[in-house]
Amino acid sequence: MLRSVSTSRCFKVMWKRFRLARMNKALSNPTYRTLFTAQVIALLGTGLMTIALGLLAYDLAGDAAGAVLGTALFIKMITYVGLSPLLAALTERLPRKPVLITADLIRASVALALPFVSALWHIYGLIFLLQAASASFTPAFQATIPDVLKDEDTYTQALSLSRLAYDLENLLSPALASLLLLVISFHGLFAGTVLGFLLSALLVQSVSLPVVQTGPTARPFRERLMHGTRIYLATPRLRGLLSLNLTTSAIGAFVLVNTVVIVKSDYGMGDGALGLAMAAFGGGSMASALLMPRLLQHMRERDVMLPAATFLTGFAFLLAGLFWGETLPAWPLFLALWGMIGAAYSAVLTPSGRLLRVSSHAKDRPAIFAAQFALSHACWLVTYPLAGWGGQAFGLPLTILILGMLGLSGVFLATWYWPKKAEREIEHSHPELPPDHPHLLAHKGKGARHIHAFVIDDEHRVWPTHG
């Protein structure tokens, strides 16, 4: 009995140290709590639609359903990469709440129409509209959160919660869909998607969002179109982030595309085992996201993300060796490996919002989040086809080796672009500005030289190479 009590007490202490309760600091903000609820509901609806769309594709195309879904996924990535900066430029000076609500209503309308399609091109057209709305909604939503949560630690908790929301969507949506399919046809799943987007729109409507000043003068449209990308690519830490996005997309694409092949062909298991493998990946990702707020209180983002990305590529080479030697690990070890890959994957992705936040002014955040959205999905645009078509053309061992090399190149580029001793506050000068310029007067520098948190903007168009 004494041993049992001690064990119970030990688990309680460990749970406290796990700091799940610390997420309450972010959730205690009523505006963020409402927006997070909207995000979770919309993601659950999206998860239901993903499953329903697969069944609809099979209903229309039979054995060619995989090709249909592959085309739909390709359209999704092309839309994200091509339209996200364009839509951010078009909506830059609009209040964010109407932008978010309109995007949700468009997504609800598309989901409402999907059950009535009768040809494959209908699916492709509606998927384009749906993803165009998401390409507007997601960056605007992500850019709003740091304006709601000003404190960096609280915002870090929000990033972890957002990561958890995506992982829970991957875990809960299939289970919920399975239960619903016991009593309704797959067409009814689209109703859940419609309801999710409508509830999301209502929740966004119910809160008051911060008003962000965009400045008295509108930029020309062409400049607005490239504004976020220019800031992104001129900032060393964000060039490092883009390189790490290449790493996560390379290994993540292999897991998301080929887990089904490994489980069903190599292990000879059924659909339930596939769900277990993806749950292991998602569970590792969730555990990592929960630990991230505590970890980032004591470590810099670079010191977390680069080692995690290195481990991620190490797992890829381990898999390549196992596949080539035809010595797959025992099933429990495989699940543990998938959990570790999920943990490293999440450790790279979760802190990225902090980097975007400290690398931009509030008025530029929609543009820079849109740039991150487009550029990160450009990585997936390369790695998804490589993981899928490469697996069929070259086999899994060579495919994971190629993706591992691609991921390793991302780690090397991140190390190169993102200096180890990079500081947020940088001493610099403005020889091009007159002594009475408002920027110089605001910082009270000696002459044109001063120090402050450095971000790329209209007064700082190039990153300083020395103090």
Asked if 202 and 240 sit in the same domain, the reply is no
Whether 7 is in a domain gets the answer: no
Total H helices, total E strands in the chain? 17, 2
Asked if 106 and 246 sit in the same domain, the reply is no
Whether 192 is in a domain gets the answer: yes
Asked if 174 and 79 sit in the same domain, the reply is yes
Whether 319 is in a domain gets the answer: yes
Backbone angles phi, psi at 23, to 5 degrees: -65, -20
Cα separation, 142 vs 148, whole angstroms:
11
pLDDT tens digits for range 304-363: 999 999 999 999 999 899 888 778 889 999 999 999 999 999 999 988 888 888 888 777
Asked if 316 and 202 sit in the same domain, the reply is no
Whether 24 is in a domain gets the answer: yes
Asked if 120 and 246 sit in the same domain, the reply is no
CATH of the domain at 387: 1.20.1250.20
Q: What share of the chain is helix, strand, coil (3-state, %, to 5)?
A: 80, 0, 20
pTM score? 0.77
Cα separation, 74 vs 374, whole angstroms:
14
Asked if 42 and 72 sit in the same domain, the reply is yes
CB 391 within 8 A of CB 258: yes
User: In which band, very low, low, confident or very high, does the pLDDT at 25 lie, cut at 50, 70 and 90?
Assistant: confident
> Tell me, what's the pLDDT at 467?
44
Asked if 32 and 119 sit in the same domain, the reply is yes
Whether 4 is in a domain gets the answer: no
Asked if 194 and 249 sit in the same domain, the reply is no
Whether 426 is in a domain gets the answer: no
Asked if 237 and 204 sit in the same domain, the reply is no
Which residues lie closer than 8 Å to 260 by C-beta, 6 or more apart? 274
pLDDT tens digits for range 214-242: 554 556 656 666 777 888 888 899 999 99
Mean pLDDT of the chain: 80
Asked if 202 and 242 sit in the same domain, the reply is no
Question: Residue 10: is its pLDDT beyond 70?
Answer: no
Whether 316 is in a domain gets the answer: yes
Asked if 192 and 256 sit in the same domain, the reply is no
Whether 49 is in a domain gets the answer: yes
Q: Residue 378: give the domain boundaries.
A: 228-417+440-467
Asked if 47 and 101 sit in the same domain, the reply is yes
Q: Count how many domains the chain has.
A: 2
